[in-house]
Chain A
């Protein structure tokens, strides 16, 4: 590390380069202008939606646009929560996404433990299958699932959404948890087994508690994925009180159908639907990023 610049006879360009490198952490104005620009780029549409949602029916369609709501008005939020369909939609999404997350975690953690710790036949085939599911186009199974669910009376039943969501969240669940289980020292488990635990006891009593942070990270990722699901939700649910939040907002007509397209209510509903996700992101950004990128870059 000692500066190559001091090495006798080092080319001047290299010396200059090394000095530039050592100038880190760089705090120039141009750099921060870029960072601010990037943050604005990421947040602007969301912020604009939030500002719109606070505008009352008289100011929202002002031309030219007034950027800030004056005064801020919660009428749009009152209106959407007064809609029974919207309250149902939030409840339905909560039920579907949490059940799918819980089931996927149980199934996925068992499978991930097996992959991380045990040698068993067809392991590579299983890994290939999991990878295939991660890239699987949902449209390729929607016809048969639609007809089968109809035949079994599962249409408008939460199971019709929970089952596909479990299946398609499994890859992320298995990858995240396999990475966590592999990182745990196997000595802990070995000593537990010397003390007379079976493998399953070692799994439940030692590995699962130790992997709690990993399980939690996986839970966040799975919940976000299931909460955002649209294709199956739109197909398998038709009763107004069974729609999930994504379908409800896509089909939103507002409290008063005769009025102009209700952008105030749409934007308010958008904020309410994404609020849980934004809170998760703000609270757990480190975990989410490590969960998302760990596997992808270790390749």
Chain B
């Protein structure tokens, strides 16, 4: 577009030779635009069919009372009735609280731990390859498998955590980790932190390596201590990376389903039931597709709100995380 407006005047005073060049150029641009749209079409159609249209359907379903329990049950329109029900649904607010605690605690811990790890391994040393490979193991590991692994590690009789604590004399009775609500939620947070901290460290490390060394030399010349250099140079330079990492980790934590489903199934009671798990159970255990859709729409809105806030801070509205 920009080229067209710049070159349009040349048509008037530079004669027929350039006129030909311009129209060829314009034709080329139009051909590129057509080809670009054509090449992007399969991706756009896939996204529309599998994500956007079903999302619209979910929004529509959220306005009806739909139970799949009985075939041919009436499906009355209830307007915003389901949303009003959610406002007085203790289970929903419990799930919101659980999700908030788990997401807040795990993302905060991941950021601090990941930052410490990244700062310490941001240098060349022997054995870097081993560190890099082992960082990727928790990241690549199937979440369901990691949940099973932690269930075994936390086991009340045969778990190795109890074994180590007993041998060290920290406790004299095994802790039944997955039965006491006030313990279980933190056991789950610990498993989540284990799985995702290494990846956070990796992202932050990549960001650290982009900071020009001259900045630290200048800071040192000005008499800055290492601590000051961290606050005045490292953190501001790392801010975009931190924000991107926080955005994706926070959204992942809000969408958490596999870990609570397999490690605790939301229990004991509802003490580890996250919003997605509660919504899933509303769909497929209670078979209440109307109310389930309402909860699903609210999760979508929460995710949208969080990403909107982050992207506002990031300041790149359409390009987001990547270039």
Contact = CB atoms under 8 A, between A and B. Distances in A.
A10 interface: yes
Nearest to B166: A64
Nearest to B164: A65
Nearest to B226: A17
Interface string B13-57: 000000000000000010111111101101110110111011101
B82 interface: no
Nearest to B216: A21
B124 A49 contact: no
Contact of A35 (B131, B207, B217, B307): B131
Nearest to B283: A143
B323 A179 contact: yes
B130 interface: yes
Interface core residue of A38, A64, A113, A129 (most chain B CB under 10 Å): A38
A14 B223 CA distance: 5
Interface stretch (A75-83, A164-172, A184-192, A211-219): A164-172
A263 B136 CA distance: 25
B55 A140 contact: yes
A289 B132 contact: yes
Nearest to A38: B117
Interface residues of B, number: 115
A205 to B, nearest CB: 16
A118 B1 CA distance: 12
B322 A120 contact: no
B251 to A, nearest CB: 5
A60 interface: yes
A237 to B, nearest CB: 13
A65 B36 contact: no
A266 B148 contact: yes
A123 interface: yes
B187 interface: no
Given A110-B40, A118-B36, A266-B152, A140 B300 contact: yes
A230 B144 contact: yes
Interface in B176-201: 194, 198-199
Contacts of B261: 230, 250
B86 interface: no
B142 A274 contact: yes
A182 interface: yes
B279 interface: yes
Interface string B300-323: 100100010000001011111111
Interface string B151-168: 011010110100100110
Contact of B39 (A26, A49, A61, A118): A118
B123 interface: yes
25 contacts: A4-B217, A10-B221, A13-B225, A14-B222, A17-B225, A17-B226, A25-B125, A48-B149, A61-B157, A111-B42, A118-B36, A128-B318, A129-B44, A133-B47, A140-B297, A141-B50, A141-B51, A144-B61, A167-B46, A199-B31, A246-B145, A274-B145, A281-B133, A297-B244, A299-B316
Q: Which 5 A-B pairs have the closest CB atoms?
A: A120-B36, A295-B322, A118-B36, A293-B206, A141-B54
